[in-house]
Amino acid sequence: MGRIKAVCIAGARYCENGLMERAVLGRLLALRFGTLAPGLVDHVIRFWPELAEEHDLRVSWKLNCWEARRCTTLIRGKGGGAMLCPALTATALCGIHGGMNGGRACWTVRGTFCAGQTQGTMDEKRPACEDCSFFRSVEAEEGPWFLHSAALVRIARRRGGVSVD
């Protein structure tokens, strides 16, 4: 498959799951594919329904942390630059508990933007995460298939993840 087609299909998959904000989509695609041709993100945003239909991308992800908690996935830094929440870019955790990237394993991802603030390491945020309604709902939904933090870290490292503790 050609690189442009792969970018378009990946972009359509992100759009299908509600990640259509130009800055967010552009950063996700650039993280995955490197430098993008000018206008390619706009093309994906404009034509994603057709791309999703053509390539049968109707993916039914479970509810991710940024959706459940109604968080912003983009935070503006002091210098005016924008950063994506690390849960959104933790591709090594994609599919865990049925979530997109780190969306259903956010408690293992370092520096998430929970509650409007940048969080610390997994150990630093453990008490708050274990008290979080989203964490508890994932744990209840997954039941005996719930993967605890140590297992998630092993999986992410094996897949090449760097933003987990």
- Phi and psi angles of residue 17, each rounded to the nearest 5 degrees, phi first: -100, 20
> Domain ranges in the chain?
3-54, 65-158
Instruction: Give the Cβ contact number of residue 140 at 10 Å.
Output: 9
Q: Distance between the two ends of the chain, CA-based, in angstroms?
A: 34
Q: Give which of 45, 46, 3, 47 is closest to 26, Cα–Cα.
A: 45
| pLDDT tens track, the chain, 165 positions | 577 888 887 887 777 666 667 777 788 888 878 887 778 888 887 877 777 777 766 556 788 998 888 876 666 556 666 678 889 888 888 888 888 889 999 999 999 988 778 889 999 999 999 999 999 999 999 888 898 898 888 888 888 866 666
